[in-house]
Every structure is written in structure tokens, then in C-alpha cells.
Amino acid sequence: MSTTLPTSKASNQPPRKILVLGATSGIAEATCRIWAAQGASLFLVARNAEKLAAVAADLRTRGASYVDTAVADLDDTDKHPELLAHAVNSLTGMDIAYLAHGILGDQAEAEQNFNTAAQILYTNFMAPVSLLTWLANFCVQRRSGVLAVLSSVAGDRGRKSNYVYGSSKAGLSAFLAGLRNRVDREGVTVLTIKPGPTRTAMTAAMPKSEKFADVDSVAESIVSAIDKRRDVLYVPFQWQPIMFIIRNLPERIFKKLNL
Ligand SMILES: NC(=O)c1ccc[n+]([C@@H]2O[C@H](COP(=O)([O-])OP(=O)(O)OC[C@H]3O[C@@H](n4cnc5c(N)ncnc54)[C@H](OP(=O)(O)O)[C@@H]3O)[C@@H](O)[C@H]2O)c1
């Protein structure tokens, strides 16, 4: 773990304390660039030490007032309590937890091999549930905090092209809705973020990925939704009406479509 000492920044507000899980994700990196320019204090967790060090160094040069890091495979749920306690101790508190890690997985392989499907479900659903259980209780105790989590439009309806990934995100979105219903009255905000296809490493090999949403504008919308303490964010915004239609198509029509 590496630490930079806090530096003073000209601002009336104390720097926000932000924990980022999956900090080397394309969407998380773009979001952190905005927070760094605002002078935030960041604790970054990722499993690739080299990439994590590069992201941390970049965020320091962009103005983050404090950056600490931990290398962790977030599938290792047994280690979550220790990791999270260390992170909030390092930040001396926590205003925002941002969960960004995830895998797309191989749908064709998952159709044949349960272990592949189980891995997608574990990384995208079980690991976030473990993290959020600890984080929600931490925030409820303090009656404050924002839990901002990257789910996906893919969770709104199962489609043949990616229903294993989609079901992991559907489970996550349902968990977040229930968690919000529990902790909103305790002063804690739960933001479900549902990006449409966005240009990152995850989508780079997909056809027409050059037409996907720009990661920096997705990140701007996420920062703004957190600041406004919103509940659910579709980003870009047009995915909200599109998914409304897709969710409401009758099954007898939907099952014939090639989506
Ligand atoms: N891009 C899109 O179109 C899109 C759309 C909707 C939702 N999302 C969601 O947005 C989130 C971020 O995705 P992205 O587009 O930014 O993709 P990305 O650049 O591929 O980032 C995914 C990140 O998750 C990390 N990760 C995966 N498994 C992990 C584990 N077990 N432990 C620790 N880290 C792990 C990866 O680490 P490594 O670099 O070490 O592999 C990587 O940093 C994901 O949850 C994704 O499902 C993305």
C-alpha cells in the first residue's frame, strides 16, 4: 500500500473522502479524474498492482488531496471486512463508496459451462453484495454516505446475447433497490448507475464500439447524479425511455427478437 500525505487545497469545503472499488475500470478512472480535479481524498482498490499505481500517480498529478491504494482481488469476499476497515481508516471516514469492478464474461461459454456462469455471477453480484453489506452498515451507523454502484441497462431484461451478465446485474439492481428502501430513512443514499454501452476496455472488442458512449461524459453524469443524491441513473439519458420500451414489450414478441 502506498500513501501520499494530504496537501492543502484552496477550498471552503473539506475534501470529500471517496473509496473506489475497481479503480482501474475505464468508467471509474474517468470518474476519479473529475474527483481528483475537485481535490478529493481517494482510496483506490484494484487487483492489478501496476495499473493501480499508474492510476494513482495520474490522480495525484490531477489534484487529488490524498491518494492511498490497496491491491485486492474483490472475489476474495473473506477479506472484505479487513480491506474496507483499512480503507475508511486511511481516509479517516468515507463520504462516497463507488463500486465499479465487474466482468462481461463469455456468454457462449457460460451457456455450456456452469463454472463460467457462476464466475460472472460471483464477481458481478456476490462480491458487491458482500462489499455493500459492510459499507451500508458503516454508513447507517454514521447516518451519512453515498453508495454509488455500477449496474447496467443489461439488467433490465434478459436477452439471449448476454443474459448471464444481464442476470448478474438484474440481481445487483434488485439488491440495491431493497438496500435503498432500508437505508434511505437512515440518511444514506444508494445510487444505482445503469450505463448503456460505453467505450472502455470491456467493450473494445464489440462491433461498432466506436459508436458507444464517451466514457468522460458518462463519468460527468455519474458525478452529477451523486452530487444530487439521485436514486437511479440511466446514462446516457436516452437509455431510460429505451429500456422502458424493452421492459414492457410482451414476452410473445420479445422472445422472437434477436437482441
Ligand atoms: N462499458 C460498458 O459498456 C458498461 C455498460 C454497463 C455497465 N458497465 C459496468 O461498469 C463497470 C465498469 O466497467 P468498465 O466499462 O469500466 O470496464 P473495464 O474497464 O473492463 O473495468 C472493469 C474493472 O473491473 C475489474 N475487476 C474485474 N474483476 C475484478 C475482481 N475480481 N477484483 C478486482 N477488480 C476486478 C477489472 O480489473 P482488471 O483490469 O484487473 O481486469 C477492471 O478494472 C462494470 O461493473 C461494468 O459491468 C459497463
CATH number, domain containing residue 33: 3.40.50.720
Looking at the domain assignment, is residue 1 inside a domain? no
- Give dist(CA 239, CA 85) in Å, integer: 36
110: cell is 457460460
Q: Which pLDDT tens digit goes with each residue over 153-197? A: 999 999 999 999 999 999 999 999 999 999 999 999 999 999 999
> Domain for residue 199, yes or no?
yes
pLDDT per residue over 106-126, tens digit each?
999 999 999 999 999 999 999
Q: Are 55 and 30 in contact (CB under 8 A)?
A: no
The alpha carbon of residue 108 and the mean position of all alpha carbons in its chain are separated, in whole angstroms, by 25
Q: What is the DSSP letter of 186?
A: G
Q: Looking at the predicted structure, is the pLDDT value of residue 3 above 70?
A: no
What confidence score (pLDDT) does residue 8 get? 38
- Is a pLDDT exceeding 70 seen at residue 74? yes
Angle at CA of residue 7, ends 218 and 36, nearest 5°: 5
pLDDT of residue 111: 98
Burial environment of residue 45 by CB neighbours within 10 A (0 to 12, 13 to 18, 19 or more): buried
Regarding beta strands 17-21 and 96-99, do their DSSP bridges make them parallel or antiparallel, or are they unpaired? parallel
* pLDDT at res. 12: 65
Whole-number Å distance, alpha carbon 155 to ligand 1 midpoint, is 15
pLDDT of residue 22: 98
In this structure, the residues whose C-beta lies within 6 A of any atom of ligand 1 are 22, 24-27, 46-48, 51, 73-75, 100-103, 123, 150, 152, 195, 197-198, 200-203
Q: How far does Cα 79 stand from its chain's mean position?
A: 19
Establish if 3 belongs to a structural domain.
Answer: no
pLDDT for 14 beyond 50 = yes
Establish if 139 belongs to a structural domain: yes
**C-alpha Rg value of the chain to the nearest Å:** 18
User: In angstroms, rounded to a whole number, what is the distance separating the alpha carbons of residues 168 and 127?
Assistant: 11
Using the structure block, give the residue that is written with the C-alpha cell 443514499. 189
Ligand 1 atom closest to residue 193's alpha carbon, by position in its atom list? 7
Helices first, then strands: H and E counts in the chain: 10, 7
Q: What is the pLDDT of residue 10?
A: 46
Residue 118 belongs to some domain of the structure: yes
How much is the pLDDT for 13? 75
User: Over pLDDT 90: what percentage of the chain?
Assistant: 94
Euclidean distance between CA atoms 259 and 249, whole angstroms? 12
pLDDT confidence bin for 11, thresholds 50/70/90: low
Entry pTM: 0.95
Ligand 1 centroid – CA 179 distance (Å): 22
The whole-angstrom separation of Cα 74 and Cα 101 is 8
Task: Decide if 15 contacts 35 (C-beta within 8 A).
Answer: no
Ligand 1 atom closest to residue 74's alpha carbon, by position in its atom list: 32
Atom of ligand 1 nearest to the CA of 103: 27
Q: What is the pLDDT of residue 249?
A: 97
What integer best gives the mean pLDDT of the chain? Answer: 95
Q: Which residues are catalytic?
A: 165
Cα of 48 vs centre of ligand 1, distance in Å, is 12
- Residue 4 pLDDT exceeds 50: no
pLDDT digits (tens, 9 = 90+) for 194-224: 999 999 999 999 999 999 999 999 999 999 9
Short-list 74, 195, 63, CA closest to 126: 74
Q: Establish if 259 belongs to a structural domain.
A: no
Q: Which domain holds residue 186?
A: 12-254
Average the pLDDT over 250-257 and give the result. Answer: 96
Q: Which H/E stretch holds residue 112?
A: helix 107-112
What is the domain count for the chain? Answer: 1
